Structure 1
């Protein structure tokens, strides 16, 4: 049986105080904590009115529809703007390849730019560019293949496959583009502000937010002299670190538990093999991109080919992969008694034991 790397490709490409409404108002997304926002606006020597004015400004900065309240309308507008920024990023990335400035990206332009990038990367950092196989940097067959892979990756926006990406195709490609956290980093802040809705009308006025800020100020002002000192502010912030450390420790403990459960489940899940079967355990990396999709369109998925040579004994084939990959089996596939696929990746830079790994195969019956 031979394992070879396929040259085919394309893309697929987160109650420190007993204050009325504050303890119930905590909103956490990832590692965000409302106390971070309130303490970050405080500075040594600050008196109450200066602190309240800073918190009023904090409220006004997020009042996108300028109606003097923070509500779901502001959050929805923020998310719409975040989506627009995400689309603009996708289109902007495509236009980086429009070398002649005519508003259309051709495959020739993509190849021209990727040729420069691949050769530069290979020269400057061959180990990284070749995924730990520096000898490939001198392989004149590998470099064109790498350029071709990169070009196919960028040309995924060529929806009609005519070798050109025009404006309608850019818009259509960018519309479902994933929104990365950088474009939605203020979402938990909006939800935190809305959690201080004292009267439950669905909108937080400056006055409501100011009352919450006033209670926080008086709590931080331990000696009750009306002025915040560095020690008082610092004494408030360690509680945040303690909370975040506890959350991180809890998350790590849960992760280890899930990993143990997954290993136990995997150890019991292997199908039985027949007495005549030969077990083949394969672990390989494929460095081309697949023409099919696993998971989502923006997840880069590799492809590799496995040829089964003729023979008489049945095969029990186990294939392990670190990255999202589709294995293409061919040859004497009728010899395969059982095909077991094992993978680690469940998404971009993600390995969640409770989710299905991104690995697949073609050429064998389901």
Structure 2
């Protein structure tokens, strides 16, 4: 059988890596699964793409479609046209997509129009927020997917509410956690650790990337101001995209405890997270990782597609109002932050389950 694996952006690589490893381990004994790795090129910053292949042991992609840049519509169109040519030249029995980026949706549409089955890893998660491009990508992808690999029972419920029969839903766990657990012992101290004289549990990490947070200049400034005022005396380390850095410079946001640094690779960034006092973010994936590492996490959003990080993990959804930051910081410094509990199937074996499910679907003994 032939599978086309699609990767496009930073979170995709963390999800693809353990699946490739599971397939390779299977092929050592019996080479049955023939896969082709397609990088759509949706993200092209080195720390957002190329470095991940090196750090996570992912083989170089068979092809890079170089579809970065442009508006949402332009990028979707570019990916669809390029991926159609790719599949025409290299037919597959199954296209496996991961996550909820533009490439996930675009490649799924192309595959289905070419009568190729689609499997969606991380299917069924929902935020309920149609202003998020990712939510649209999730809904469209799941509307046409054939096989659904899910991370939680909430996702299973969401899919059943769409009329998806149980025999097409495979509750396998979270491949992001496979990657985290495998690489945790390899986390490495970034250069900024020494440069900023950071100490374990004596600094905060911040990440923001959603347009509603970083493109609204007044809100972004309020966020930073509130964080700095309520987090004394801890340094705030902010790996920031150059475009966001320009906005902060334009706003004159400067402080001796605010450290804007370049985006980091996977191993260095997670070293910072694991040794921090807490993380402030608007990223869904980071809420998963902090929950497993038992690091307090504050999410600057009004909704989440990963409710298990709240009910069982260390995540608190504090909303998009900057005024919610101070009382949340007071809770952190009081020492009353909740501890993480075990999240079902987030155990480092999700990719093995996915591989076994694919073999079963195609009638091949694992």
TM-score, with structure 1 as normaliser: 0.20
**Which is bigger in relative contact order (C-alpha 8 A, separation at least 6)?**
1
TM-score, with structure 2 as normaliser: 0.20
